[in-house]
Structure 1
Amino acid sequence: MSNVNVKTASATLLLLLVYVFLTATWPAMAERSEAPKNDDVHGMLEKSLSVAEIDKEMVRITQEKQQLLESMTETDAELARQSLKLEQKREQAGKVLRTYYMGEHDRLFASLLSSDSWTSFFTILDYIDLIITHDKQTLDKYIGEYRGLQERQAAQEAKQLELLAMENRLKLQRQRVTELERELADQLAGRTDSERLLLLMKELNKFWEEKGLAEVRTYFKALSSAMGKLPEWVQDNKDLLHIKGFQYTITVPEDKLNQFLREQNDVFNDFAFRFEEGLITASGKRDNIEIAISGHYSVQDEPKNGILFHVDDLLFNGFTLPDTTRAALEKEFDLGFYPGLMISFLKAKEVEIKDGELIIRLTLSL
């Protein structure tokens, strides 16, 4: 079988299963006084997809937690070694301070004043300078290592809080999965078509993992790459930038953005952005896989100034994916626009989405 046939067969398997399911169960459903609606089937399939995706998030959190625990264990051991070494440095620093406090170096200065020749004078002076330099190095080294230890201890405390946050996230996701699984079990209970539904759920998740997720990542990767070139594109299209005094405004019409994206990657020939009031939507269909994204921009200042894209909704063939999937994609792919890459002394101040336009207001970075 050719690659095209294999791809087509894989892409249409889910649709065929849905067709078989509906045609096989339609007569029985029609005879029941409270027959389930098609959206009930859609909802159950969507829940099964959410369970699988949240399970993946739980695996990610568990792995991050394990890595953090290993790091904290290593840091604890290092802090113990540093504390022991610092105790030795503290004794040395204390000895230096006691020497000055008790006036034990006074004899050296007295010898300097009572020297009977210039040769003796400069010899004693060099000796004093050597002692003072060594004492200063001892104190500076102790202070530096003490501050370093304090910083590492503070970082370790921050990791403790991060670990607690991870444990809370993991607990929350477990609760979500448990609730979704309970709802699915309740919906499947007593249904004569439960086995077919379970098969549909299995095939949907397989199709998403093997085809859908790769397609979504292809779009996000291409978009991330294109956004990195957007500042240069704005500079080359002077009509997009309006300057009034110290106020700079970038206005990007959706048709020009779509044209720019298609110039960057052919994948956008089947994918288009639309700017609506306060919302960005993008959708496309290729190889029987339909992707729809909606989201918004917000201004951020850290770690660097720019406008950051947030995915509010992500749909795959009409099925809504959970927030964990959206967050993972946002973390993996940077879809931000950074004015500083265009003109170093500018920073984003405000972003607005109006019908057909993306408007970015900039100000001087002082």
Structure 2
Amino acid sequence: MRRKQHITIKLAAIFLCLSLWISLPVKAAAIDEQTRKILQDSLSIVEIDQEIERIGLKQTETQHKQQELQTQLSIQREQIQSHQERAGAVLRSYYMGDRDQLLSILLGAKNLGQALTLIDYYQIIISRDKDILTAYQQRYTSITELERQTAIAAAELQDMKSKLITQRTRVAALQEQVDQQVNGSSDSETLKRLIEEMTSYWENIGLYEVRRHFKALAAAMEGLPQFIQGQKGAIVTNGKKYTITIQQDEFNRFLQSRDEMFKQFGFTFEQDGITVQGKSGTMELLIKGHYTLENIPKNAIVFHVDRLVFNGLELPDTTRSNLEQQFDLGFYPQMLLPYVKATGVETLPRQLKVQLELNL
């Protein structure tokens, strides 16, 4: 297991790091392929280490949740025992005909006053029987739900344990590979310094900038329904079916109107995919992704990040997945038209099309 580097950098050191990083190549494309690969693997190690930490924290939370559910389940099982016995007694009384005898007594009343009194008693007994059966049903439903939640927590915990093992194995293999390449380099000290500066730049500035851009994009997407409504001819209807067409140039203008930073970044709609590319200061970012139609947990057009390249270095799947979870870049058709659902999505050269139909 790699011993993760914890680098404490003051403001002056950050500027020094930046100047060193810029004096060394800012773009990985400007260095030889072997060095670029070493830097990329080193960056992956940093990010996978972060994923291991996130999984570990989530694992601890899930363990506590599972323990709490188990405690609640034990309490519910004890409480349901008494409810079960009382409910059983009520059901046996109906099965054995005890309540029929009460009804017979009621029908055999000698006068109206006695009949009314017996009716009151009968209603009290029936009402009490109903309360007992209802209480048992509620307890039974509650314990069934707790058992379901406990099983889900147990499955999640097992899944996280498997992911933890996978990522630890992965980071160990990468670390061994990087160590071998660095030790075999003709100038290992310079390479080590380059790795340290690249790591510092990413942890202190790069990751912040990437998240800032994803956050701005997620915020902009919230205004997409209003943008579409304002575009003449963007929505075409054919009976119960609708087609939304978003033009690449109009979409870029929309983003630029939402945030100044998108003046340095452009979206390109391609066949079956989208490319986002741009430069901000010393950072160059390339995102490749695609949209899919999903119905769980709700009907939506969801964006998936297929590639994420920072200053020429491709970030691992763990980073892409984490950014997808943190920032929602999806599109929800029902925010545009309440009574429709998306049935398809496709990207074409310079166009994004979404198919909808009435969902009454």
TM-score (norm 2): 0.92
The equivalent of 2:179 in structure 1 is: 185
Q: Could you tell me how far apart the structure 1 residues matched to 2:112 and 2:217 are?
A: 78
1:261 maps to 2:261 = no
CA contact (8 A) 1:242 1:250 kept: yes
223, 226, 238: which is aligned to 2:220? 226
2:293 match: secondary structure: strand
Give the unaligned 5+ runs of structure 1. Answer: 20-36
1:74 maps to 2:68 = yes
1:226 match: secondary structure: helix
The equivalent of 1:13 in structure 2 is: 20
Q: CA deviation at 1:13?
A: 2.7
The equivalent of 1:301 in structure 2 is: 295
Identity %: 38
| Paired letter, 2:210 | V
243, 246, 254: which is aligned to 1:249? 243
Q: CA deviation at 1:109?
A: 2.5
Give the unaligned 5+ runs of structure 2. Answer: 1-10
1:330 match: secondary structure: helix
Aligned length: 346
CA contact (8 A) 1:11 1:289 kept: no
CA contact (8 A) 2:69 2:149 kept: no
CA contact (8 A) 2:17 2:200 kept: no
Q: Could you tell me how far apart the structure 1 residues matched to 2:107 and 2:117 are?
A: 12
Q: Which runs of structure 2 are paired with 1:17-28 in the superposition (5 Å)?
A: 17-18=24-25
The equivalent of 1:342 in structure 2 is: 336
Q: CA deviation at 1:140?
A: 1.4
The equivalent of 1:161 in structure 2 is: 155
Q: Could you tell me how far apart the structure 1 residues matched to 2:269 and 2:291 are?
A: 11
| Paired letter, 1:197 | L
114, 117, 137: which is aligned to 2:111? 117
Q: Could you tell me how far apart the structure 2 residues matched to 1:283 and 1:77 are?
A: 52
| Aligned residues: CA RMSD | 1.9
Q: CA deviation at 1:81?
A: 0.4
Q: Could you tell me how far apart the structure 2 residues matched to 1:192 and 1:127 are?
A: 99
1:357 maps to 2:348 = no
1:105 match: secondary structure: helix
Q: Could you tell me how far apart the structure 1 residues matched to 2:94 and 2:338 are?
A: 52
Q: CA deviation at 1:280?
A: 0.3
The equivalent of 2:91 in structure 1 is: 97
267, 270, 281: which is aligned to 1:273? 267
Q: CA deviation at 1:305?
A: 0.9
Cα 1:257–1:8, aligned 2, differ >3 Å: closer, same or farther?
farther
Offset from partner CA, 1:345-366 (integer Å, 9 cap, x none): 1121111111111111111224
CA contact (8 A) 1:8 1:287 kept: no
Q: CA deviation at 1:6?
A: 9.3
Q: CA deviation at 1:290?
A: 0.7
Q: Which runs of structure 2 are paired with 1:45-56 in the superposition (5 Å)?
A: 45-56=39-50
TM-score (norm 1): 0.90
